[in-house]
Structure 1
Amino acid sequence: MITRTATARYEGLGKTGKGWISTQSKVLDQSRYGFNTRFEGEPGTNPEELIAAAHAGCFTMALSFGLANAGATEGSLETEARVKLDQDGAGFKISRSDLRLVASVPGIEESELRRLAEEAKANCPISKALNVEMTLEVEVRAPADA
């Protein structure tokens, strides 16, 4: 079992409160967050952005391993995740995560890449944790040297 940690501190309450998020690795170290960074576009982070980063990273890594297991030895993958936050009665909920992949992987048929991408979308740990509607758009590009 692997355990990862993050901490959040919030001083003040509601819209006027200010928060800081830190991760075990220190990639985030007292990163600012609060109502203004979440809903008003001020500099800082927010939980949905962090979930989008986690989903994009997890899916992309899962796909890279799937491609390696299928015999690919090189290539590039770039994924954008768009996490949607919708109003849910008096509160909010994450309703979906849409993944957009741009891939260039020599030696792998497009149909195989798409199959492996769907498998990664369904089985990466963050996809499983989210349990929300997800879409996957795949753009396959020819290798740069082709």
Structure 2
Amino acid sequence: MPTHSGSARYEGFGKDGRGWVSTQSGALADQPYGFATRFESEPGTNPEELIAAAHASCFTMALSFALAGAGHDKGTLETHAKVTLEKDGDGFTITKSALDLRAAVPGLAADEFERLAAEAKANCPVSKVLNAEITLTHLLAE
């Protein structure tokens, strides 16, 4: 199985520091991050946003494969994830990743959809690595 990597560089410290994050694939290349992108409105990214994108994409891909395995070959899935960062003593903790799924899958029964979505939530690799509450809301279009 492949190993994927990312990197971060930070110059300066604390609120005045500035960082850049990159991915092995180049999808992110020296994307700015720091205190202002995490807690204020400065353009750039932050770890929670990256985790949210990773969780949404991992879960959606897992569900896609589960649907294909169940014989479904058409439709769309769109997932948004909201990662919650809370104060924890002198630091912070990611306490929740809330997945919100909208799906349109012709011929998919609601009970099968709910079962497959719950299994994908529990079994996608990013869900397994997060030590936080993970919730899922979903809507299957008629």
Q: Deviations over 1:19-54 (max 9, x none)?
A: 000100111000000000000021000000000000
Aligned positions of 1:38-77 closer than 5 A: 38-77=38-77
Shift of 1:132: 1.3
Q: Is the CA contact 2:37–2:45 (under 8 Å) kept in the aligned structure 1?
A: yes
Q: Is the CA contact 2:95–2:131 (under 8 Å) kept in the aligned structure 1?
A: no
SS in 2 for 1:121: helix
User: Which residues of structure 2 form unaligned runs of 5+?
Assistant: none
SS in 2 for 1:80: strand
Q: Distance in 2 between matches of 1:20 and 1:73?
A: 40
Shift of 1:131: 2.7
Q: Distance in 2 between matches of 1:139 and 1:40?
A: 32
Aligned positions of 1:7-18 closer than 5 A: 7-18=7-18
Q: Distance in 2 between matches of 1:73 and 1:7?
A: 36
Q: Which amino acid aligns with 2:26?
A: K
Aligned positions of 1:94-113 closer than 5 A: 94-113=94-113
Shift of 1:108: 1.2
In percent, how many aligned pairs have the same letter? 62
Q: Deviations over 1:57-105 (max 9, x none)?
A: 0000000000000010100000000000000011000001000000000
SS in 2 for 1:82: strand
Which residue number corresponds to residue 36 of structure 1?
Answer: 36
Q: Which amino acid aligns with 1:109?
A: A
Q: Which amino acid aligns with 2:21?
A: I
Q: Distance in 1 between matches of 2:57 and 2:66?
A: 14
**TM-score using structure 1 length:** 0.96
Give the total of aligned pairs.
Answer: 142
**TM-score using structure 2 length:** 0.98
Would you identify which runs of 4 or more consecutive aligned residues in structure 1 move more than 3 Å?
none
Q: Distance in 1 between matches of 2:136 and 2:93?
A: 20
RMSD across aligned positions (CA): 0.6
Q: Which amino acid aligns with 1:66?
A: A
Which residue number corresponds to residue 88 of structure 2?
Answer: 88
